[in-house]
Amino acid sequence: MTPKILPSLIAVIDIGTHKTVSLVGQMINGKARMLGFSERRTEGVVKGTVIDLERLHRCVHEVINDVERSSGRSIEQVYLSLSGPAAEGERIKGIHAIPAHDGKVTAKDVTDAIASAKRLEPPAGRATLLYMRQPTTIDGRAVANPVGMAGKRLEVHFWRVTMEEGNMRMRVGMVNGMSVKVRDFILASHAAACATASDSDKQGVLVIDMGAGTTDWILYYKEHILCAGSIPVGGEHMTNDLSVALRISRETAEDLKIRFGSAMHREADANQTIWKDGDRGLGDQQFNRGTITQVLSLRYQETIEYVKKDIMQHLDQLFPGRAVKLDQYFLPAGIILTGGSANLTDAADAVHAIMQLPTRIGVPTFENDSLRKPEYAGVVGLMTAAITDSPPPVRRQRGFLASLKDLFRF
Amino acid sequence: MERPPSILLVGLGGAGCSIVARLAAQLPPEIGVALIDTDTRSFQQIPGAMVVQIGRAQTRGMGTGGEAALGAASAESDEAALRRAFTGVPIVAMVTGLGGGTGSGAAAVVAGYAAEVGATVLTFATMPFSHEGERRQRQANEATGVLGLKCHGLVVVHNDLLLQQVAADAPLSESFAAADTWVGGALRALAGAFAPGALVAADPAALRSILANPGSPTLFAFGVGTGEGAAMKAARAACECPLAHGPSSVTKVASLFVHVAGGPTLTTTAAFEAVAAVRTRFGGETSTIVCARVNPELGDRIEVSVLGASLPAPKSPAKAKKGAKAGDPSQPMFEFATEEAMRRGLFGGTPMTFIDGQDIDVPTYIRKAVRLPPSP
């Protein structure tokens, strides 16, 4: 069957705990142009876990319908973002002995090494979702392109992300159910990094994508992903803490978090009294601002501590016995904080205080002004990652009628 | 043989026995006290109290070492003695600490025997501190699921909450005193309600009708007010009682038992004002049982205690239970999620997420026991 869509059409969808966003773009002269965008409040997801499949299904369906309408294109394949601790990453390697007769690496040697790495089966019951390239080495030396170089032993490394099979089937099924296919998965933290970190940043940078349900992190070193992980805590937890502490509804807590919240508890806030609505009308309530900042800052800082701990555990596994430090030499570009929870006041200061590295808020660079916010780093990055990681297929030879149809679209 | 007491306060396990020992001194004489444990050391805390040593064969007078199965077996082996202890007692108030062996294992068994011999069983269970780790937390959670089905009312007191009630530099004993105040208040209220001489009286059968649905979460709140407008102050304190806090949606109940006790100045109007305030907060549309009592010892203090039970969760496929299959043994846990919801808020009913043995869905300030500034 010939595809109905233009081959260079790229659709991405990011299903988060708080919102589901979809973006459709097209490659024109090597640059991405946005054709359609849609966004909806996600339903049926709590803490990054699906609790009501039916409602989520409907929500995803509506988002896809909206984006098809706004772009005027029909979507056949989408890139799906992948976040949360359910997706586990690990380093795998493929080894290939270089034939001794000339001792030079050929393109075939590289393909063989890659094939041997990908032959490694994931643990029982888990399915491989994606591979991300890590440095290639010849006799232990990292090289950018091994072809033509001399050596004995060629090693290719991948960051492999696996997920429990049932969970993966559910995610794929969510999209597949509406005659749209999942083309590929993209790690959400990698997407966020693609939108906010430059290539020179990737010499050494930590990107923390703090969403509503999960906080995903990814570490780049020498332009390659080194490791990535996720903590099942996000902005929703802060809202919840606030609603438990002040005994208020989720909506009120969310509103107070945005207006008065902070990731740093300062003495100045301690005895400041704030009003819920501000009009002092019926039902207006007074709160102590110190309580709000205290509750939020405790949770925020704890979450960053967990991220730090998780990173150190991963580094220990990758480099056993070598106490790697998270410092300026290792990560010259410091930390990029992005995702919806990066909007919290003083978020970067709080991260800096714990990690002791320069921290900045990552805002995606995009033609569309309304998407230049930390919470859209994920979806914008998905688009960027989809283009750079797996270039869209070349335009196939198609029937006369189909090309006529395209002609009238413009 | 002497007449059995109208209310029997039972301490079960190490933690339960020590709470009861602390309370015993300040209780009115109508309340009988019994201690049940595998460990004989617990019995030395109150000389002369009724004691039932369980599991002599299993533990030889020692503790259970945190094994819930051993606790359950110990209680089962002494069935006859336990049944005898509860015979003829209309109300059994059991206090136990969950997470360990005797509390987690034996509580459901003991409550079952008491209910079978005709007593109305109300259990106060303390949950372990977050820092005590995942295993005890899980053991305690499993125990609440089973225990809730065996007794008529189950009030859960989170130890983490206790730490928050006092300043960070306060001695440990002070935070436990908060729990004693709550449980003690509840027992005094129960004793006061059924003893002769109440202003507005109730009988044990009425309490039973309130708590008639085993397995449904029990609400408990306690508040004290003094001086001008003491009744309203006490009612407000009860509404804000940390034991009953959480998003208002989960603490609406079907039936309420409200007890107001005060000194000679307590007026009927004040008492009913307090009841009305409590009803607005917690519901109680189906039935509210009101008790009021004048106790000269209280002076200008007024105490309001609230007990409430929600209706059993509807059997229709509630949305939140999508994940659980019919006949799933974990289902009662979901029905019991309301109690969890008080602490976990919006995440009540979702699976717990553990990092370093702590349920991280519980607010950080609760787990770190940070005392928040008072609200204006």
The total domain count for chain B is 2
Residues A282-318 as b/e (b if ≥16 CB within 10 A, e otherwise) read: eeeeebbbbbbbbbbbbbbbbbbebbbebbeebbeee
Higher pLDDT, B265 or A233: A233
| Mean pLDDT within B361-373 | 78
Test A295 with B363 for CB contact under 8 angstroms.
Answer: yes
Residue that terminates a domain, selected from A255, A279, A302 = A302
Tell whether A45 is covered by a domain: yes
The number of distinct structural domains making up chain A is 3
In a domain, B240, yes or no: yes
- Exposed, middle or buried: residue A106 (CB in 10 Å: 0-12, 13-18, 19+)? middle
- Give the end-to-end CA distance of chain A in Å, rounded to a whole number: 24
- Residues B125 and B265 reside in one and the same domain: no
pLDDT at B1: 41
A54 and A102 assigned to the same domain: no
pTM for the structure as a whole: 0.66
How far apart are alpha carbons A135 and A203 in whole angstroms? 12
User: Residue A98 is part of which domain span?
Assistant: 88-165
Q: Are A122 and A149 within one domain?
A: yes
Buried b (16+ CB within 10 A) or exposed e, B168-199: eeeeeeebbbbbbebbbbbbbbbbbbbbeebb
A214 at B interface, C-beta within 8 A: no
Q: Is the residue at A280 inside a domain?
A: yes
Return the CATH number at A397: 3.10.20.370
As a whole-number percent, the residues of chain B with pLDDT over 90 amount to 0
Please give the residue that has the higher pLDDT: either A227 or B42: A227
d(CA B260, CA B291): 6
Asked if B112 and B259 sit in the same domain, the reply is no
Q: Are residues B149 and B253 in the same domain?
A: no
More confident residue, B30 or A97: A97
Same domain, A240 and A284: yes
Q: Would residue A171 count as lying in a domain?
A: no
Q: Give me the pLDDT at residue A396, please.
A: 47
Could you tell me how many residues make up chain A?
A: 410
Q: Does residue A189 lie in a domain region?
A: no
Q: Is residue B14 part of a domain?
A: yes
Phi, psi of B177 (to 5 degrees): -60, -30
Assess whether pLDDT exceeds 70 at residue B169: no
- The DSSP secondary-structure symbol of B250 reads G
Residue A5 has pLDDT above 50, yes or no: no
- Highest mean pLDDT, choosing among A166-170, A251-255, B204-208: A251-255
Query: Bigger pLDDT: B150 or A342?
Result: A342
**Can you tell me the distance from the alpha carbon of A243 to that of A220, in angstroms, rounded to the nearest whole number?**
37
Same domain, B149 and B225: no
Q: Write the single-letter amino acid at A163.
A: M
CATH number at residue B291: 3.30.1330.20
In terms of average pLDDT, the best of A138-152, A298-312, A319-333, B357-371 is: A298-312
Torsion of CA A69, A73, A74, A78, to 10 degrees: -100
How is residue A91 written in tokens? 């380093």
Q: Which residue has the higher pLDDT, B121 or B181?
A: B121
Q: ∠ CA(B252), CA(B257), CA(B259), 5° rounding?
A: 125
Task: Please tell me whether residues B34 and B143 are part of one structural domain.
Answer: yes
B253 pLDDT exceeds 80? Answer: no
> At A112, which CATH number?
3.30.1490.110
CA distances A76 to A64, A79, A176, A180, B296, Å, are 10, 11, 10, 5, 80
The reply to whether residue B365 touches residue A51, judged by beta carbons under 8 angstroms, is no
**Residues A241-257: tens digit of each pLDDT:** 998 888 788 888 999 99
Residue B324 banded pLDDT, cuts 50, 70, 90: very low
Same domain? For B128 and B245 the reply is no
φ, ψ (nearest 5 deg) of residue A18: -95, -50
Which of B322, B353, B363 shows the shortest C-beta gap to A241?
A: B363
Average pLDDT over residues B266-275: 79
Give domain status of residue B2, yes or no.
no
Cβ <8 Å between B343 and A244? yes
Average pLDDT (B202-207) is 69
Interchain pair B347, A288: CB under 8 A: no
Instruction: Determine which of A39-53, A254-268, A301-315, B59-73 has the lowest per-residue pLDDT on average.
Output: B59-73
- B364, A302: Cβ pair inside 8 Å? yes
Encoded tokens for A171: 């995610």
Crossing angle of helices A165-176 and A53-71, in 10° steps, is 40
Give the span between the Cα atoms of B261 and B195, in whole angstroms: 13
DSSP-derived secondary structure for B29-50: TTEEEEEEES-GGGGGGSTT-E
Residues 23-42 on A with a CB inside 8 Å of B are none
Q: What are the distances in angstroms from CA B321 to CA A51, B313, B347?
A: 8, 11, 13
A243 lies in the same domain as A291:
yes
What Rg value do the Cα atoms of chain B yield, rounded? 20
Last residue in a domain, options B158, B190, B222: B190
Residue A1 has pLDDT above 70, yes or no: no
- Residue A20 domain-assigned? yes
Nearest Cα to Cα of residue B308 among B105, B98, B202, B154: B154
Which of A137-141, A203-207, A275-279 ranks highest by mean pLDDT?
A: A203-207
d(CA B264, CA B297): 9
User: Does residue B52 sit in the same domain as residue B132?
Assistant: yes
Q: Which of A237, A252, A272, A287 to mutate to test the interface with B (most CBs of B within 10 A)?
A: A237
Looking at per-residue confidence, does A199 or A31 come out higher?
Answer: A199
| A51 plus A94 within the same structural domain | no
Residue B305: CB atoms within 10 A of its CB come to: 28
Domain membership of residue B278 as a residue range: 202-309
Q: Are residues B104 and B127 in the same domain?
A: yes
B364 found inside a domain: no
The dihedral sign for the CA sequence A328, A235, A55, A376: negative
pLDDT at B316 over 60: no
Residue A107 CB partners (closer than 8 Å, separation 6+): A147
Exposed, middle or buried: residue A209 (CB in 10 Å: 0-12, 13-18, 19+)? buried
pLDDT score, position B329: 35
ipTM more than 0.85?
A: no
For A135, other C-beta atoms within 10 Å of its C-beta total 17
- The better pLDDT of the pair A155, B234 is held by A155
Asked which of A165, A183, A203 is the last residue of a domain, the reply is A165
Q: Average of pLDDT values for B81-87? A: 83
The first and second tokens of residue A168, run together, are 């993966």
Beta-bridge partners for A207 = A218, A336
So what's the pLDDT on residue A274? 83
Contacts of B372 in chain A (CB under 8 A): 245, 291, 294-295
Same-domain check for residues B235 and B153: no
pLDDT > 80? residue A158: yes
- Same domain as B111, residue B31: yes
From chain B, the residues in CB contact with A49 under 8 A are 350-351
Contact at CB, B346 and A240, closer than 8 angstroms: yes
Is B333 a residue whose pLDDT tops 60? no
Statement to judge: residues A98 and A66 lie in one domain: no
User: Residue B133 is part of a domain; what is its CATH number?
Assistant: 3.40.50.1440
Whether residue B172 is found in the same domain as residue B212: no
Average pLDDT over residues B342-351: 66
Residue A408 has pLDDT above 60, yes or no: no
DSSP letter assigned to residue A150: B
Q: State how far residue A143 is from chain B, nearest Cα, in angstroms.
A: 38
All residues at 6 or more sequence positions from A255 whose CB lies less than 8 Å from its CB, including other chains = A276
* Chain B residue numbers touching A54 (CB-CB < 8 A): 322
| Domain membership flag for residue B346 | no
What's the pLDDT at A46? 77
Question: Which of A45-49, A189-193, B204-208 has the least mean pLDDT?
Answer: B204-208
**Of B190, B224, B251, which residue sits at a domain end?**
B190
- Report the share of chain B in percent with pLDDT over 70: 70
Q: Which of A244, A272, A302 is the last residue of a domain?
A: A302
If asked whether residues B164 and B277 sit together in one domain, one would say no
* Position B164 confidence tier, pLDDT thresholds 50, 70, 90: low
pLDDT the model gives residue B215: 56
The rounded distance, in Å, linking the Cα atoms of B256 and B268 is 19
- Residue A348 lies inside a defined structural domain of this protein: no
CATH number of the domain that A262 lies in? 3.90.640.10
Does position B91 have pLDDT exceeding 90, yes or no?
no
Domain membership of residue A55 (yes or no) is: yes
Minimum mean pLDDT range among A296-300, B43-47, B152-156: B43-47
Chain B residues in contact with A47 by the CB 8 A cut-off are: 347, 350, 353, 361
CA distance A361 to A206: 12
Angle subtended by helix axes A289-318 and A250-260, to nearest 10: 80
pLDDT of residue B249: 35
pLDDT for residue B332? 33
Alpha-carbon span B255 to B310, nearest angstrom: 7
Pick the residue with more confidence: B83 or B255? B83
Task: Give the least confident one: A208-222, A289-303, B64-78, B315-329.
Answer: B315-329
Q: What is the pLDDT of residue B144?
A: 80
In a domain, B55, yes or no: yes
CA B347 to chain CA centroid, nearest Å: 22
State mean pLDDT over A215-244: 90
* pLDDT in the model for residue B195: 66
A287/B248 touch (CB, cutoff 8 Å), yes or no? no
Is the predicted pLDDT of residue B281 greater than 80, yes or no?
Answer: no
The predicted pLDDT at position A308 comes to 93
- Compute the distance between CA of residue A294 and CA of residue B139 in angstroms, rounded to an integer: 31
Q: Does pLDDT of B315 surpass 50?
A: no
Q: Which residues of B touch A (CB under 8 A)?
A: 240, 245-248, 319-320, 322-323, 343-347, 350-351, 353, 355, 360-361, 363-366, 368, 370, 372-376
CB contact under 8 A, A250 and B319: no
Same domain, A272 and A292: yes
Please tell me the predicted confidence (pLDDT) of residue A306: 93
Is residue B166's pLDDT more than 70?
A: no
Nearest to A247 among B245, B323, B346 (CB): B245
- B240 has pLDDT over 60: yes
- pLDDT given at position A298: 92
What are the tens digits of pLDDT across the range A84-111? 888 888 889 888 888 877 778 888 888 8
| Closest approach of A377 to chain B, Cα-based (Å) | 26
Residue type (1 letter), A171: R
Percent residues over pLDDT 90 in chain A: 24
| Predicted pLDDT of residue B204 | 67
Residue type, B196: P
Whether residue B254 is predicted with pLDDT greater than 80 in this model: the reply is no
CA distances from B212 to B46, B90, B115, B205, B284 (A): 32, 14, 12, 10, 14
B92 Cα distance to chain centroid: 12
Contact B358, B367 (CB under 8 A): yes
Contact between B121 and B94 under an 8 Å Cβ cutoff? The reply is yes
Cβ atoms of B29 and B110 closer than 8 Å: no
> Which of A244, A271, A288 lies nearest to residue B345, judging by beta carbons?
A244
Instruction: Give domain status of residue A336, yes or no.
Output: no
Name the domain boundary from B135, B158, B190: B190
Q: Is A272 on the interface with B (CB under 8 A)?
A: no
